[in-house]
Amino acid sequence: MRSKLVNLHTLSGEKSTIYTVLEIQSDGSRSALFDRFIEDFRDAYQPELTDVLRRLRSIGNQTGALVTFFKMDEGLEADDMVCALFDIPYKYLRLYCIRINEKIVIVGSGGPKQTRTWQEDPLLSKEVHRMMEISSRLRLKLNNGIFSLSADGLHIVGGNLILSET
């Protein structure tokens, strides 16, 4: 499977760029993590999805990706940048992200949080581990100079934004 970063132009703006990961299967089929998240939870969690989209648009266009909007350190490594978009109290839909800085966020997938920790839920555990793997590949490409940040800090550039070839 090949994967690459794609800009979500409808959410991105002058304050922050919102990316997701496009996965391309060997048969040519494509799916983006954030699109699957929306599709999977559209019916059962419509009000929460609407709020997630509203908050992401606000991050992109008005506020930037302030650390206060995220539950940081959701991954297992201290520097993996995996976090969750804070949910509204008494709401349970969790979206996992990689927050590079106040200007760049990569949104993945997630699901309803019905356990005390993500490790107790098979779906959430799978999604957090997926984001940790993406973060690992991203950090390696940034450290090796394959990817870099644009001069204004709003974009990841280089390597055609390809995270993996296999």
Cα 55 to Cα 58: distance, rounded to the nearest angstrom = 5
Residue 122 has pLDDT above 80, yes or no: no
pLDDT the model gives residue 72 = 84
The whole-chain average pLDDT of the chain stands at 90
Which tokens belong to 116?
Answer: 């005390």
Give the count of beta carbons closer than 10 Å to the beta carbon of residue 116: 8
Q: Which among 161, 53, 55, 154 has a CA at the least distance from the CA of 102?
A: 154
Higher pLDDT, 139 or 116: 139
Residue 98 has pLDDT above 70, yes or no: yes
pLDDT band, residue 89 (cuts 50/70/90): low
pLDDT the model gives residue 117 = 72
Total structural domains within the chain? 1
Segments forming the whole domain that contains residue 142: 2-164
pLDDT the model gives residue 108 = 95
- The pTM score is 0.92
Within 8 A by CB and 6+ apart from 72, the residues are 83, 99
Q: Answer for the pair 161, 4: CB distance below 8 angstroms, yes or no.
A: yes
